[in-house]
Structure 1
Amino acid sequence: MQVEVDRPKCVASGQCVLLAPDVFDQDDDGIVELLTAAPGPEHHDDVRESAAVCPAAAIQLTEG
């Protein structure tokens, strides 16, 4: 799995950080920061859920 974030689209809801804190963080303005673009398999379910609930659709996943 590869993860990309579109920081300009981020609305700082923080759902990604709550669901996958080992993969996502937020800067001082609340905008998403990607901690790892290739999370381990143990994080895949949480990352998928983060992408699904992101209100700005700022998280893109490439599986495989």
Structure 2
Amino acid sequence: MKVRADRDVCIQAGNCVMVADNLFDQDDYGIVVVLVDDIPEGEEDKAREAVKLCPSQALSIAD
């Protein structure tokens, strides 16, 4: 499972970091940064929650 981020769509809300700070971070401008290439086992629910809570729909999951 992989998570993708469209940094052009991100509105710097930070919900992803609040839900899964081991998977996401924000750069100096507040834009999402994906920290891992593949979602570690056991972190899938956090990744799905982050995607669900993203107000700009900048995040997506690819299996």
TM-score normalised to structure 1 length? 0.93
Structure 1: gaps spanning 5 or more residues: none
Are residues 1:59 and 2:59 paired? yes
Over aligned residue pairs, what C-alpha RMSD do you find? 0.7
Gaps of 5+ in 2: none
Residues 20-53 of structure 1 deviation map (CA, whole Å, 9 limit, x = unaligned) = 1111000011000010121112111010000001
The number of equivalent residue pairs is 63
Q: How does 1:1-64 map to 2 (within 5 A)?
A: 1-63=1-63
The 4+ residue runs of structure 1 with deviation greater than 4 A are none
Q: In the aligned structure 2, how far is the partner of 1:34 from the partner of 1:41?
A: 16
Kindly, what percent of the aligned residue pairs are identical? 38
